[in-house]
Amino acid sequence: MTLLKSRRDSVPTPPGVVGWAILALAIGGFGIGTTEFAMMGLLPNVAEGVGVSVPTAGHVISAYALGVVVGAPLLVAVSAKMRRKTLALMLMALFTVGNLLSVFAQDYVTLLITRFIAGLPHGAFFGVAAVLAASLVAPSKRGRAISMVMMGLSVANVVGVPLATYVGQQFGWRWLFILVAGIGVVTMAAIYAFIPNQKAQPDASLRKELGALRRGQVWLTLLVGVVGFGGFFAVYTYVANTMTDVAGFAADFLPVIVGLYGLGMVAGSYVGGRMADWSVMGSIYLMMGFITVILVIYAATVHVQWMALLMIFVIGASGSMLVPSLQTRLLDVSPGAPTLASSLNHSALNMANALGAFVGGLVITWGWGFTAPALVGAALAVLGLGIALFSGFLDKVGARRKATA
């Protein structure tokens, strides 16, 4: 503790401390992933608890997502001059308070408000966590450091979500928020203990942070996330119906399927970090093309049960592989305002969630069947690849202009 407090910025962070620091940030990601995704499994319990229908209770999930979209740019922008460690602590404190307030929500409207509050720090926390993790390692290892932070979100789908769902079903849905608030407290303690104190950026300002929004490459990278991941979520939103109605699995086998998806996310996070360190743009090109092919294969083979299980693992992995590269790309294209740009990645992913659910539901409503969202998702992935290639082309044009200037 004393060593960390007295550390000068010029002194390299020891590898052992880096590991603990990244673990502290990953625990925060684990808590965020647990509260975000466990709500889906407990939705009937929540609906009964606050006296509304299940579809109406689904707006509670939307309220959290709206908090993510609003909070990411807002909280980062207004805290531009704050030390990043302090900002991470503040965001996790807000997350913890939001979940504790949800414990005591006695009606539907109050629960909507508390879930919105809990969602506000989501994107901002991942944004500042990515910047902190990247600052603790050599530039050649940024992708791996960021992927380890995001690993917390992936592990939540394997461990946190099933555990929280079980606890919520057995002891009441409010225990989900008690459990997550406890994780928030642990995260704050770990961040305080293990994240080195770094000086605030002396020239940081609200205007400079918002200046990232004037960069075309920032918007192109975010658009790759929205469109590319839109296809990914088009499939995942309707995975339960696809696995039961098309693949023929029993409903009580769905936890195993979701677990396979989560294991894929863990594997994808690990591999994706190393791919980002190999080549940021190369990884984005490769993964967008890979997702396109995988979704087409999924649509064609999901009726075969062993292929359905294999492909759900691969889909989980392919989506997670892309995140570290997108996060690193946003750091590269937003010099001077990396925290805001990085946090917006999670706003983009939540917009992708909404887009995927919408277009997937649309084609199902048209009578195209539960495999149709995968084909629409593949088309979106192709569009995402096109946007990424255009962004890379602009990089080359800019480099040529500098070389001839």
Lowest mean pLDDT among 114-123, 130-139, 188-197, 337-346: 337-346
Non-local (6+) Cβ contacts of 356 within 8 A are: 229, 230, 231, 232, 233, 234, 235, 236, 237, 373, 377, 380
Q: What would the pLDDT profile of 105-160 be if each residue is shown by its tens digit?
A: 999 999 999 999 999 999 889 888 988 998 888 888 888 888 888 888 888 888 88
Q: What would the pLDDT profile of 27-63 be if each residue is shown by its tens digit?
A: 999 999 899 878 877 878 888 899 988 778 878 887 8
pLDDT at 181: 96
Averaged pLDDT, 93-116? 95
Query: 205 falls in which pLDDT band (50, 70, 90)?
Result: low
Residue 4 has pLDDT above 60, yes or no: no
pLDDT at 30: 94
Cα angle 398, 134, 29 (rounded to 5 degrees) comes to 120
Token pair for residue 381? 């992935």
Residue 382 has pLDDT above 60, yes or no: yes
Looking at 104-215, list the stretches that DSSP marks H as alpha helix, in order from N- to C-terminal side. Answer: 108-135, 142-155, 161-171, 174-194, 206-210
Averaged pLDDT, 305-332? 91
Q: What gap in Å lies between CA 27 and CA 156, rounded to an integer?
A: 9
pLDDT at 7: 37
DSSP 303: T
Is residue 156 within 8 A of residue 29, CB to CB? The reply is yes
C-alpha 93: how far from its chain's center? 19
Query: 375 falls in which pLDDT band (50, 70, 90)?
Result: very high
Q: Greatest CA span in the chain, whole angstroms?
A: 68
Single-letter amino acid code for the residue at 142: R
Structural domains present in the chain: 14-204 (1.20.1250.20), 207-399 (1.20.1250.20)
